[in-house]
Amino acid sequence: MSKQKATAIVAEQRRIAPDIYDMWLLTDLAKEAYAGQFIGVYPKDGARLLPRPISICEADREGGRLRIVYRIAGKGTEEFAGWRSGQSVEILGVLGNGFPIQAAGGKQAVLMGGGIGIPPMLQLAKELKAAGGEPIIIAGYREGQLFLKKDLEQYGKVYVATEDGSAGIKGNVLTVMEQEGLAAEVIMACGPMPMLKAIKAYGAEKQIDAYLSLEERMACGVGACLGCVCKTTHKDGHSHVNNARICTDGPVFEAREVDI
């Protein structure tokens, strides 16, 4: 199935932590949605034109349902939080490349999600487990509202870090690696830029492949506008100027490929 703008139906939505919402959408786009990919969600407010990029948290391919978990960050996501089941909404997808499941083949994968970077780890853990792996999942939260922790536990061992120490280990995802004496053979991560930079450095030091999901402001979401680029270490085949498009060449990049 190629990319589409499609009408989806809100199946259910609930608040799972302060300002964090969990929404299931009925859509055929689910049939070809994979971990690390994302959709563009359009606000209904006609003055807000651009699709909001939101990661796939879970894809129920048989049931034709997509789950997204998002934080209210501005007016668009604030509007989404008011959507009720049965309502029809416009989405663009499926966008982006996704995490390379085969790169974890036979290796101990450690998944690291920070804050609103945790949701894509759920579909990723599910796919890795289905492929025969036993992923270790480290979820870094700001405070003790451990959204998605129970869901994640279905697919691997979950460790928790909180910035304020109110649950799990006080610190970040890398503090957990150290304090729990964990070893990774491949890392897959999504979260805020400082976390991704630290993981890139950690991967380089330990010589492990680390796949990072990056974020940037987007307009088209399909590779046409060149709005969402990140610096790459090699000239990529498309731009010829060390600028990969996060929406189409990413959002997932091997850490060595990107200059972050």
Partner 1 sequence: MNTKVKIAGVEFKNPVMTASGTFGSGMEYSDFVDLNRLGGVVTKGVANVPWQGNPVPRVAETYGGMLNAIGLQNPGIDVLIERDLPFLAQFDTRVIVNVCGKSVEDYLEVVERLGDTEVDMLEINVSCPNVKEGAIAFGQKADCLYDITSRIKKKAKQPVIMKLSPNVTDITEMAKAAEAAGADALSLINTLTGMKIDIHRRTFALANKTGGLSGPAIKPVAVRMVYQAAHAVKIPVIGMGGIGSAEDAIEFLLAGASAVAVGAMNFVNPYATVEVAEGIETYMRKYGIEDVAELIGGVKE
Ligand X SMILES: Cc1cc2nc3c(=O)[nH]c(=O)nc-3n(C[C@H](O)[C@H](O)[C@H](O)COP(=O)(O)OP(=O)(O)OC[C@H]3O[C@@H](n4cnc5c(N)ncnc54)[C@H](O)[C@@H]3O)c2cc1C
Ligand Y SMILES: Cc1cc2nc3c(=O)[nH]c(=O)nc-3n(C[C@H](O)[C@H](O)[C@H](O)COP(=O)(O)O)c2cc1C
Contact residues toward partner 1 (CB under 8 A) are 2-5, 42, 46-51, 92, 216-230, 238-243, 248
Distance of alpha carbon 18 from its chain centroid, rounded?
19
CA distance 60 to 45: 28
Query: Percent helix, strand and coil across the chain, each rounded to 5?
Result: 25, 35, 45
Number of residues that bind ligand X (CB under 6 A): 20
53 binds, among ligand Y, ligand X, partner 1, none (CB under 5 to 8 A by kind): ligand X
One symbol per residue from 132 to 161: x for binding ligand Y (CB under 6 A), - otherwise; what is it? ------------------------------
CA distance 127 to 101: 7
Torsion angle, CA of 44/58/16/180, rounded to 10 degrees? -140
Q: Is 193 helix (H, G, I), strand (E, B) or coil?
A: helix
Nearest distance from residue 93's CB to ligand Y, in Å?
20
For the chain, count helices (H), then strands (E). 5, 16
- Which of 82, 225, 234, 235 is close enough to bind ligand Y by CB under 6 A? 225
- For position 77 contacting ligand X by CB under 6 A, the verdict is yes
- For position 54 contacting ligand FES by CB under 6 A, the verdict is no
Residue closer to ligand X by CB (options 52, 200) is 52
- For position 59 contacting ligand FES by CB under 6 A, the verdict is no
Q: What Å distances lie between residue 256 and 77, 212, 232, CA to CA?
A: 32, 10, 9
- For position 70 contacting ligand X by CB under 6 A, the verdict is yes
- For position 18 contacting ligand X by CB under 6 A, the verdict is no
- For position 241 contacting ligand Y by CB under 6 A, the verdict is no
- For position 55 contacting ligand X by CB under 6 A, the verdict is yes
98 binds, among ligand Y, ligand X, ligand FES, none (CB under 5 to 8 A by kind): none
Residue closer to ligand X by CB (options 215, 257) is 215
- What are φ and ψ of residue 79, in 5° steps? -65, -45
